[in-house]
Chain A
Amino acid sequence: MKLFSATSRKLKKTALFRSARKNQDLLLFFLLLLVGLVSTLYVEYKFQYAQFKWLGWRVFVIAAAIVQYGALPKKIHQRYQRPLLFILAAIVVFYLINLLANLINVYHLERFPSLMGYCEQNEQLCDTIVRTFFQFKVYRFVSLTSYFFMYVIFLIVGLLFSQQVYKRTLKVWRKLPKIRLRRVKLKYVLLFYFLLVYILIQQLISAFSTISKKMVKMYYTSALPYEQRWEQVMGGRFSFGWMKTYSEFVNAHTPENSTLLIPDMEAPWEMEGNPDYLRWFIYPRKMVQMKGSSEVPKEADYALLTYGVFGYYKRTFPTFFIGQDQINEIIFVNQNTLEVTRQQNIDYHPEEYKNVWGLIELKK
């Protein structure tokens, strides 16, 4: 115990301790900043797909750093103003490079004939660039999420305006009429200010990350004719986007006054089995469902042959056998190439039609 108190006394005499005590506010700020930055790098490195889950906690730390920075003396702000601006500019540039790399999709540069032509003539240079890309793991930079950049950008923006807002908040607080808070006045204002910074930064990061992600998608879709964008916006041909392309196939091969047999609204046909939803795609065609019946309804002119647009669990519709005496022809569409083929005089067995899309024209 004596040894401990002696060591403690000695420590208190050191210049480092005196300086640390004098600058404890600054140290606290740096600690918060360090925890905030290290945690965001760690999350980025380890939990690529759980960004949002961790967002609240990380923003909590950086909001505390911003508030703490606002409370520091003016001379510190003056000293760090320029470096902060420089870092902000650098991060924005890095972010723009990252965005550009994602926009042009650096993994598929074969889409640019002029670049391929250039590389054929300067094979060595292109080889070196590709090797450097993989050797120095530049792909790690390309795959950085927009959350990472927004987190750092809004941290610095927050720091830049921290003192200004802090002072104003404090000034406002001091002038509150007829409310006495005794000794805890400063703590309350800090808490209120902290809460607002926390909420605002969190929402800003969330909104701007969304914008950033959508911008990349928008860049790709904007190159397509407006009518074809639906498929891309909804995740492409092998996702929900198939709904529109498949419906266009149905519309092209059925008259407007026809009635279509569609699946009941259950997995995996939540989209094409929902008459209120499907009608947007195939109007003015009419729809009819089995609704538990085992017989094909008489009014049906066609039956959708679908494998389920929605969900992972897939199943073929119609789920039952249809003899060739009831079928005029089956029209297939290839989901990949959109090539259309037809077959006549065949029975329909659902188990033979896995991952197949098309239409069954029924005899009347």
Chain B
Amino acid sequence: MTLLTILAIQVCLLIVGYLMAVVFGVAQKLEALAVAYLLGSGVVSIVFLLLHWLFGLNLDATNFIASVFLTGGLAFLITKRMKKTKEMTDFRLTKTSRVLKSLSVFEKSLLILLFILVGYTIIENYVWPVTAWDSLALYDFRARVMAVHGNMVEGIQLGYFFQYPPFTSFLHLFGYVFGNERIKLAYSFIFASLLTSFFVLLRRKQPLWIALLGTLFLAVDSYIFGHSTVAYTNLSYVTFLTLGLIYLLFWFHEGAKKDLLLGAFLLGLSTWVRSSEPFWLVGIGLILLRLFTKREQVFLGLLMIFLMVGISRLWGIFVQSLYAANNFYPAARRSLLAIVLSSRFSFELLLSRIQEIGGYFYLYSLNVWRYLLLPFGFSFYYDWRAKNKHNLTLAVMVGLLLSMLFGGIFIFSLYYETWNLITDSLQRVSMVFPPLLIYFIFSSQIWKQHGTQRR
């Protein structure tokens, strides 16, 4: 019964997300399934908060059911109007078995390894409870408090409560409100979504075996795989952010509307998981650049930017209104700009700090993705020579993300004395690089088969 309940909750989110993917114009079932959980969990959790905030519904089972029906129902009505329901809900197994039979032994082996990895995370997440430090300190704790009170008022007294957006806490809460403790299962769904979406995106560029090989590379990355069984926000964040960026990259070069919608939604939702990192701004930059250069889909592009900014601000506005409603006025925090402007540094000190940050960055950030540097170098060389614009844009994006990370550490070092002691945190933030680098390597021109039939 426990397994059925927790699965039912995840399947509800999956169905809502699937319908949303269809609304966005995704015409391939595998792609719709791949992003379904991400869209479903992200949007339902936002509606869950909105119903609580605007209509006074408690954060409980009724609210969850209402959020699912509201979002799912709306998406279903739109798909009905689009007359896409029939073909997208035809899940006959004959086609799947035909596809499986057509795979070579090598491809089947890769697929089996992927299934074993995802299957393992499902077992571990079902069998073992939440034990990770940060989760107990914040993400899971919040969910337990909300499950007891049905609101977040208690969080004001508890202090460390509102520092991160509530996405993963809501995923936990969805289980707790139905009396189910096996909430870690959600992380397996996120892991599976990341892998499937990554495969789908890679498959657009490459033959099946390369797409599968690249996906396996991602699945066994020690940080990505490690976090698939840890109730932290990092895997969810990396999933939303990297997939969002890759979708936007496709839109940037090919201009398909559904890529813009998916990319913007996923990128916006990344700020619903973690709002302190500014990486999502790279996506906004990409949208603006295309809008300026091509002058196509201007309204939709601006709307998507508005949506992303809206999602990124939602949590902050909610927390402010909660504080105000409870007559709580926390001390105002200094803005980053004020911190940077008020810092007095001599040139020598600045150089030595940059050198210090470089060493720290080399030891703890590079450590996460350095194993990919050589193959990345090879691929980059060929993409540069072959003028592969798709990958060269991605390389610029990775460069921007790296600069942001480096700059972020620098600013952090200005106002936080023990800035160089949070090594774990830097490593976890650096998890955004492996998916992008692996995607770069496996979508590179180095693999291109010109004139051969793609299967």
A211:B450 contact, CB within 8 angstroms: no
Q: How far is the CA of A98 from the CA of B349 in the complex (A)?
A: 58
9 contacts between A and B (CB under 8 A): A175-B448, A199-B375, A204-B216, A207-B222, A221-B127, A226-B182, A279-B158, A280-B136, A283-B144
Q: Closest Cβ of chain B: how far from A70's Cβ, in Å?
A: 12
**Given that A221-B128, A222-B127 are known contacts, is A277 also in contact with B133, CB under 8 Å in the complex?**
yes
Chain A residues touching B, majority SS:
helix
Chain B residues touching A, majority SS:
helix
Interface 0/1 of B427-455, CB less than 8 Å to A: 00000000000000000011111111000
Give the interface segment out of B47-55, B117-125, B412-420.
Answer: B117-125
Q: How far is the CA of A88 from the CA of B37 in the complex (A)?
A: 37
A179:B181 contact, CB within 8 angstroms: no
For A281, list chain B residues within 8 Å (CB). 136
For A179, list chain B residues within 8 Å (CB). 382, 385-386
* A337-356 CB contacts (< 8 Å) to partner B: none
Cβ of A161 within 8 Å of any chain B Cβ, yes or no, is yes
Q: How far is the CA of A210 from the CA of B223 in the complex (A)?
A: 12
For B113, list chain A residues within 8 Å (CB). 204
- Residue of B127, B144, B209, B452 with highest tally of chain A CB at under 10 A: B127
For B209, list chain A residues within 8 Å (CB). 168
Cβ of B131 within 8 Å of any chain A Cβ, yes or no, is yes
| Cβ-neighbour of A234 out of B131, B158, B182 (below 8 A) | B131
For B127, list chain A residues within 8 Å (CB). 218, 221-222, 229
Cβ of B371 within 8 Å of any chain A Cβ, yes or no, is yes
A175:B129 contact, CB within 8 angstroms: no
Q: Please give the number of chain B residues whose Cβ is less than 8 angstroms from any Cβ of chain A in the complex.
A: 53
Q: Closest Cβ of chain A: how far from B425's Cβ, in Å?
A: 15
Which 6 residue pairs spanning A and B have beta carbons closest together? A203-B220, A280-B136, A207-B220, A276-B137, A280-B141, A276-B160
B138:A276 contact, CB within 8 angstroms: yes
For B141, list chain A residues within 8 Å (CB). 279-280, 283
**Given that A172-B449, A277-B137 are known contacts, is A230 also in contact with B131, CB under 8 Å in the complex?**
yes
For B136, list chain A residues within 8 Å (CB). 277, 280-281
For B447, list chain A residues within 8 Å (CB). 172
Q: How far is the CA of A274 from the CA of B182 in the complex (A)?
A: 26
For A161, list chain B residues within 8 Å (CB). 106, 109
Cβ of B421 within 8 Å of any chain A Cβ, yes or no, is no
Cβ of B372 within 8 Å of any chain A Cβ, yes or no, is yes
Cβ of A171 within 8 Å of any chain B Cβ, yes or no, is yes
**Given that A199-B371, A276-B138 are known contacts, is A175 also in contact with B145, CB under 8 Å in the complex?**
no
Q: How far is the CA of A218 from the CA of B160 in the complex (A)?
A: 32
